[in-house]
Amino acid sequence: MAELRIAGVHKDYGPVRALTGVDLTVRSGALVAVLGPSGSGKTTLLRCIAGFEALDAGEIRVDGSRVATPDASVPPERRRIAVVPQEGALFPHLSVLGNVAYGLDRAARRAGRAAAVLDLVGLAGFQDRMPHHLSGGQQQRVAVARALAPRPPVVLLDEPFNALDAALRAELRQDVWQALRADGATAVLVTHDQAEALSIADEVAVMRDGRIVQSGPPELLYGTPADPWVAGFVGDAVWLPAVMDGDRARTPLGALPVTPSAPADGDDQNAPQRVLLRPEQIALVPPGAPDAVLATVVRRDFYGHDAVLGLRLADGTAVAARIFDPASVPPSVGDQVALRVRGAARVFPR
């Protein structure tokens, strides 16, 4: 266990500003997901933490002691930080057990640490297999086991599940989460997959163009995104034009209660705004229900556990509604439906 503290970190590659003023604190034993699109600087941040890149400004501390500044850097092998790369990169000539035991001292080997970690990642019984006789998911499990085996206080994972299909990803990330927990490791998981970040992490740090634009618990990011870009990146967004009317926003879906948010200095309360809803906030109600707004179904995406309807209101506004019982309520394209909003909207400047 160890606290990881990153403060004011800058990193340029020639003219490319890969990291600009990154601040991030990861509590001891916590799992933080760094979520951002491709090219936003996620890998660069991990490489700086691991010690593979020198900083241009700022500092990185592990449990209070400085491991990196622009002038001084503890070498990677002395940082006690393990890295799980995107593709496992196992030693092809070593067995599964050989791979996991590779970095262990003799005492840990004798204590059966490698077998214990393999058990933790669901690979008991695979000790003697060679890497080329494993599936992609099994290889990633071995890579995780190898990283965790020496009990590193900090574990960094760089999009480790990318190559796997959806069902396997979900299973593996649960197993990895449990393995990290069992060890009490402090972990940073880099991903461009919002579902992965929201489902696994204690906190999510959203990265864009080399900056962390918002960080916080998954529920907070999803419910109160700091700006429209974050809103759209961490989930599906429905945007409605709005005019404030007291504590409500007048929108094409009616006068909606809004989540209180402090107006920025100089904000004109009567200026046109826009509000954010999530598709699951828009419910189908019986036609004629009070406050219902009529809409036409223009699209229907069926996902089994739910479905998303693309809808057009009478004034032409396009919205989306997530419905959770699509098998029993199957509106088709062209149907008229009635809508009502649940919960509060979040206001943003136009």
Residue numbers at the binding site for ligand ADP (CB under 6 A) = 13, 16, 18, 36, 38-44
The torsion angles phi and psi of 37, rounded to 5 degrees, stand at -70, 170
Residue 13, contacted partner among Mg ion, ligand ADP, none, CB below 5-8 A by kind: ligand ADP
Give 43 or 186: the residue with its C-beta nearer to Mg ion: 43
Strands 16-26 and 4-13: what pairing? Answer: antiparallel
- Which of these segments, 43-51, 72-80, 94-102, 270-278, binds Mg ion (CB under 5 A)? 43-51
Residues of span 94-153 touching Mg ion by CB under 5 A: none
Give 212 or 319: the residue with its C-beta nearer to ligand ADP: 212
Q: How many residues bind Mg ion, per CB under 5 A? A: 2
Residue 103, contacted partner among ligand ADP, Mg ion, none, CB below 5-8 A by kind: none
What's the min distance (Å) between Cβ of 22 and ligand ADP?
11
Residue 44, contacted partner among Mg ion, ligand ADP, none, CB below 5-8 A by kind: ligand ADP
191: contact with Mg ion by CB under 5 A = no
Give 16 or 329: the residue with its C-beta nearer to ligand ADP: 16
- Which of these segments, 40-48, 108-116, 134-142, 226-234, binds Mg ion (CB under 5 A)? 40-48
- Which of these segments, 2-10, 22-30, 35-43, 323-331, binds Mg ion (CB under 5 A)? 35-43
What's the min distance (Å) between Cβ of 52 and ligand ADP?
10
Give 37 or 257: the residue with its C-beta nearer to Mg ion: 37
What's the min distance (Å) between Cβ of 203 and ligand ADP?
18
Q: How far apart are CA 313 and CA 201, in angstroms?
A: 37
Q: How far apart are CA 83 and CA 312, in angstroms?
A: 48
What's the min distance (Å) between Cβ of 226 and ligand ADP?
19
Give 13 or 302: the residue with its C-beta nearer to ligand ADP: 13
43: contact with Mg ion by CB under 5 A = yes
What's the min distance (Å) between Cβ of 205 and ligand ADP?
12
Residue 214, contacted partner among ligand ADP, Mg ion, none, CB below 5-8 A by kind: none
Residues of span 275-314 touching Mg ion by CB under 5 A: none
Give 207 or 341: the residue with its C-beta nearer to ligand ADP: 207
Q: How far apart are CA 273 and CA 255, in angstroms?
A: 13
What's the min distance (Å) between Cβ of 263 and ligand ADP?
33
Q: How far apart are CA 32 and CA 155, in angstroms?
A: 11
Residue nearest to Mg ion (CB): 43
What's the min distance (Å) between Cβ of 190 and ligand ADP?
7
Contacts of 322 (CB under 8 A, 6+ apart): 236, 278, 279, 280, 282, 306, 307, 308, 309
Three-state secondary structure string covering the chain? CCCEEEEEEEEEECCEEEEEEEEEEECCCCEEEEECCCCCCHHHHHHHHHCCCCCCEEEEEECCEEEECCCCECCHHHCCEEEECCCCCCCCCCCHHHHHHCCCCHHHHHCCHHHHHHHHCCCCCCCCCCHHHCCHHHHHHHHHHHHHCCCCCEEEEECCCCCCCHHHHHHHHHHHHHHHHHHCCEEEEEECCHHHHHHHCCEEEEEECCEEEEEECHHHHHHCCCCHHHHHHCCCCEEEEEEEECCEEEECCEEEEECCCCCCCCCCCCCCEEEEECHHHEEEECCCCCCCEEEEEEEEEECCCCEEEEEEECCCCEEEEEECCCCCCCCCCCCEEEEEECCCEEEEEC
What's the min distance (Å) between Cβ of 232 and ligand ADP?
18
Residue 111, contacted partner among Mg ion, ligand ADP, none, CB below 5-8 A by kind: none
Q: Which residues bind Mg ion (CB under 5 A)?
A: 42-43
